[in-house]
A and B are shown apart, each in its own frame.
Chain A
Amino acid sequence: MEMNIRTPITKEIIKKLKAGDEVLLSGVIFTARDAAHKKFHDLLQRGKHVPLNLKDAVIYYAGPTPPAPGKAIGSCGPTTSSRMDAFTPELLKLGLGGMIGKGDRSGAVIKAMKKYCAVYFLAPGGLGALLSTKVKSAKAILFKELGPEAVYKLEVKDFPLIVGIDSKGHNVYDTVKRKKE
């Protein structure tokens, strides 16, 4: 059973999601990967604001390929989420509702997700061509000088995701590990 959800991803939506659920996400999401996260962090360290409204927003850990002429976007699968772990709790504190990536998260991230009520989704890694068909528009809105690492505003339709870690801290990878044992 797939669940259809839309951004902004409110606490009410987040609380309903359970690790392992399959979700089709529609609406606006923002890409940000290593360099953009470092910039957010540096701004916060200097007492400045992150120039993006993160309340109930969804960040996608991705750096797409450039679009071919006439297309919205190029290949656009997820990158490894754990590289963003160190920068994540401070963004959750600002109201970030959801994150999309691949792989497991740190204990500190999961703790902050429980505290601020957030959800972590898995997107299928290495399926960038397929995922590009779910993106209706893409626009670089921040840090354009970073090229593929800029923050892009994406409008997605039925983006296929699995709830990796829910707001209670349940983790789909733990379930896999338990099964193996």
Chain B
Amino acid sequence: MREIDVSKIKDAVTELSLKANFELRKDILKALKAGVKKETNVRARNILKSVIENAKLAKARRIAICQDTGMAVVHLEIGQEVALCGGSLKDAVNAGVEEAYRKGCLRKSVVGHPLLRNNTGTNTPAMTFIDIVEGDRLKITVSPKGFGSENKSMIKMFRPTDSVEEIKRFVIEVALKAGPDACPPFVLGVGIGGTFEQCAYLAKKALMRPIDERSPDKHIARLERELLKELNSLGIGPMGLGGKTTALGVNIIEAPTHIAALPVAVNVSCHATRSAEKTL
């Protein structure tokens, strides 16, 4: 067994929370630059240029890219040969988030009870997801998720006999409904298959994959390419004010499912799709 002290996890969560909020992902930046070249609409091009300028400013001045510094979604892939020591894992993750949001002047956007709505003042609890994998490594991904786009996400339980075309129509409809509210150009994370809750989780997880990397499954990769093309012909454009850049990327993760089911979840994310990862 390889021992990892949870204080190391806490430090990594702090570091990654800060990095994700200050430094826009390289793959996103690359897609934005490609968008500037592609846009013929002056306003659309100028908005995309401002998005790139905003990212540069955020990185240089260590100020949040977006004021919605989100709920901290923390994914842990823990090797089964890792023994965690030094205290509670979840406490360590929350302590890491709390420190980053305090020190980095990030917004505390978490309420402790969904109906009573009292702000916890620390941006905790984090949304912590744990996968046990083979090996003795521990991979941490912190993904601050803004809710302007989260609010537009949807899940639909299709019939197993429904066609791929119907799934595509649903994804397009989600993007149309998200419109200008969810800060286009979007990144869409899509889960297909699994159970109700796994499908939604896969959609979230899909957002963390670089958008210039296609699915290893050729059917899924084709669907990703087709959806991106169709989304960019909708004309929503940056800020919803028209243009060719409605989506920067579409990432899909599929999973085995039930004979009676075909769940599809779409997690909408904005042009400030953020995540940072590290392996201990």
Chain A positions near chain B (C-beta within 8 angstroms): 35, 62-68, 71, 74-77, 79-80, 82, 102-104, 122, 124-130, 132-133, 146-149, 162, 172-173, 176, 179-180
In whole angstroms, what is the CA distance A147 to B101 when docked?
A: 14
In whole angstroms, what is the CA distance A102 to B149 when docked?
A: 12
A104 neighbours in B (Cβ, 8 Å)? 179-181
Beta-carbon contact of A125 and B108 below 8 Å: no
B194 interface residue, CB < 8 Å from A? Answer: no
Measured as residues with beta carbon below 8 angstroms from the partner, the interface class of chain B is: 35 or more
In whole angstroms, what is the CA distance A82 to B117 when docked?
A: 20
Beta-carbon contact of B54 and A172 below 8 Å: no
Min CB–CB distance A74 → chain B (angstroms): 5
In whole angstroms, what is the CA distance A173 to B181 when docked?
A: 12
Beta-carbon contact of A74 and B240 below 8 Å: no
Given that A63-B107, A77-B66 are known contacts, is A146 also in contact with B271, CB under 8 Å in the complex? no
Beta-carbon contact of A126 and B53 below 8 Å: no
Partner of A102, one of B50, B61, B183, B272: B183
B255 interface residue, CB < 8 Å from A? Answer: no
Beta-carbon contact of A176 and B242 below 8 Å: yes
A77 neighbours in B (Cβ, 8 Å)? 66-68
B65 interface residue, CB < 8 Å from A? Answer: yes
Given that A102-B181, A126-B271 are known contacts, is A68 also in contact with B105, CB under 8 Å in the complex? yes
Partner of A62, one of B67, B106, B179: B67
Q: What is the 8 Å Cβ interface bit string for chain B, positions 52-73, against chain A (1 contact, 0 not)? A: 0111011001111111110000
A62 neighbours in B (Cβ, 8 Å)? 67
In whole angstroms, what is the CA distance A173 to B51 when docked?
A: 20
Interface residue stretch chosen among B201-209, B214-222, B231-239: B231-239
Given that A65-B69, A74-B105, A162-B241 are known contacts, is A126 also in contact with B63, CB under 8 Å in the complex? no
Beta-carbon contact of B105 and A66 below 8 Å: yes
B47 interface residue, CB < 8 Å from A? Answer: yes
Min CB–CB distance B175 → chain A (angstroms): 13
Q: Which residue of A is nearest B117, CB measured? A: A35
In whole angstroms, what is the CA distance A94 to B13 when docked?
A: 47
